[in-house]
């Protein structure tokens, strides 16, 4: 637990900053909803080309579950959550190792596995905290933002899937970093999956023959089942958690066996 607490403490400023920024962005988009929900805007949006609307998942934008899936939880928030998760995952082992500061702690009586898992658990708590704060703030805005049609349960569902979406990227960056000890590999792996996953869920789906890519995109596992309409998608949630567990297990296994770089 000491390593876990120390991780929270060392990262408190950054993690609180991310929580506030992500929540502010979500709140900002949510408070725009009343200005979208009028006939003039609906006409304007309906005149967009069908392909573009599909790419941005913009069909019937004036309904809150659609608007929220696209704007509040659709674009900027998941991308920033992925960035946050990747940066935290990279730092846990690889960043510390390249800074030369991992040596000292591992020269203490704490096992490699315990140290690594405690640090990852700290990231998991941070992701859950981000999702929880965002969830509470969006629920609190339902009245003032005129989207009471959106049930708190569904908002909770999408925030839960957002946390798992972040967990996948944190686990990937952590796993690659713990396996290799190199920051750049961990960042590259996280960024590649984020970019390909995003394209796979949006633009590739516009190309016949590439539609299948959607099925392999973490963005689809997060939003594809429309948790704002249908609640938690347990299949997708299981996929996100399962892969995260796999990445964490592999990275930790290798970290326990390899040399720590100077």
Partner 1 sequence: MADTPAIQTDALVKRYGRGGTTALKGLDLSVAMGEVFGFLGPNGAGKSTTIRILLDLIRPTSGSVRVLGVDPRSSHELRGKLGYLAGDFVVNGRQTGRELLTYLGDLRGGVPAQRIDQLASSLDLDLTKRIGSLSKGNRQKLGVVQAFMHRPPLLVLDEPTSGLDPFLQQQFVELVREAADNGQTVFMSSHVMSEVQQTCDRVGIIRAGELVTVEHIDDLRKRALRKIEVRFGADAPLLEGIAGVTDVVADGKVLRCKLSGDADALVKAVAQHHVVDLISEEPELEELFFTYYRHGEA
Tell me the closest approach of the beta carbon of residue 104 to partner 1, in angstroms: 6
Q: Which is nearer to partner 1, 207 or 262 (CB)?
A: 262
Q: Which is nearer to partner 1, 143 or 257 (CB)?
A: 257
Q: Is residue 17 part of the contact set for partner 1 (CB under 8 A)?
A: no
Q: Is residue 260 part of the contact set for partner 1 (CB under 8 A)?
A: yes
Q: Which is nearer to partner 1, 100 or 235 (CB)?
A: 100
> Can you list the pairs that 222-225 forms with residues at least 24 positions away whose Cβ atoms lie under 8 Å?
222/78, 222/161, 222/162, 222/164, 222/165, 223/57, 223/69, 223/73, 223/74, 223/78, 223/158, 223/161
Q: Is residue 6 part of the contact set for partner 1 (CB under 8 A)?
A: yes
Instruction: Please name the residues in contact with 11: beta carbons below 8 A apart, sequence gap of 6 or more.
Output: 88, 91, 122, 126
Tell me the closest approach of the beta carbon of residue 115 to partner 1, in angstroms: 9
Q: Is residue 10 part of the contact set for partner 1 (CB under 8 A)?
A: yes
Q: Which is nearer to partner 1, 205 or 252 (CB)?
A: 252
Q: Is residue 34 part of the contact set for partner 1 (CB under 8 A)?
A: no
Binding mask 180-209 for partner 1 (x = CB under 8 A): ------------------------------
Tell me the closest approach of the beta carbon of residue 120 to partner 1, in angstroms: 18
Q: What angle do CA 20, 96, 183 make, to 5 degrees?
A: 85
Binding mask 78-117 for partner 1 (x = CB under 8 A): ---------------------xxx-xxxxxxxxxx-x---
Tell me the closest approach of the beta carbon of residue 257 to partner 1, in angstroms: 8
Tell me the closest approach of the beta carbon of residue 253 to partner 1, in angstroms: 15
Q: Is residue 121 part of the contact set for partner 1 (CB under 8 A)?
A: no
Contacts with partner 1, residue ranges (CB under 8 A): 2-3, 6, 10, 99-101, 103-112, 114, 257-260, 262
């Amino acid at each position: 637990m000491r390593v876990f607490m120390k991780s929270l403490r060392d990262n408190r400023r950054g993690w609180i900053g991310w929580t506030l920024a992500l929540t502010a962005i979500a709140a900002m988009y949510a408070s725009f909803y009343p200005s979208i929900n009028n006939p003039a805007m609906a006409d304007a949006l309906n005149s967009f080309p069908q392909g573009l609307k599909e790419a941005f998942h913009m069909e019937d934008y004036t309904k809150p579950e659609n608007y929220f899936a696209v704007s509040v939880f659709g674009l900027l928030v998941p991308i920033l959550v992925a960035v946050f998760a990747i940066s935290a995952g990279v730092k846990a082992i690889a960043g510390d190792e390249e800074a030369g500061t991992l040596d000292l702690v591992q020269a203490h009586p704490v096992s490699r596995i315990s140290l690594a898992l405690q640090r990852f658990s700290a990231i998991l708590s941070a992701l859950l905290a981000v999702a929880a704060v965002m969830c509470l703030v969006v629920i609190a805005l339902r009245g003032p933002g005129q989207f009471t049609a959106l049930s708190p349960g569904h908002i909770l569902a999408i925030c839960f899937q957002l946390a798992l979406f972040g967990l996948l990227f944190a686990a990937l960056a952590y796993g690659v970093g713990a396996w290799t000890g190199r920051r750049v590999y961990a960042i590259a792996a996280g960024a590649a999956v984020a970019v390909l996953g995003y394209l796979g869920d949006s633009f590739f789906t516009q190309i016949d023959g590439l539609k299948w890519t959607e099925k392999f995109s973490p963005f689809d596992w997060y939003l594809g089942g429309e948790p704002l309409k249908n609640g938690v998608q347990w299949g997708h949630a299981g996929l996100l958690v399962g892969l995260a567990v796999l990445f964490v297990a592999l990275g930790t296994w290798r970290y326990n066996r390899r040399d720590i770089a100077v």
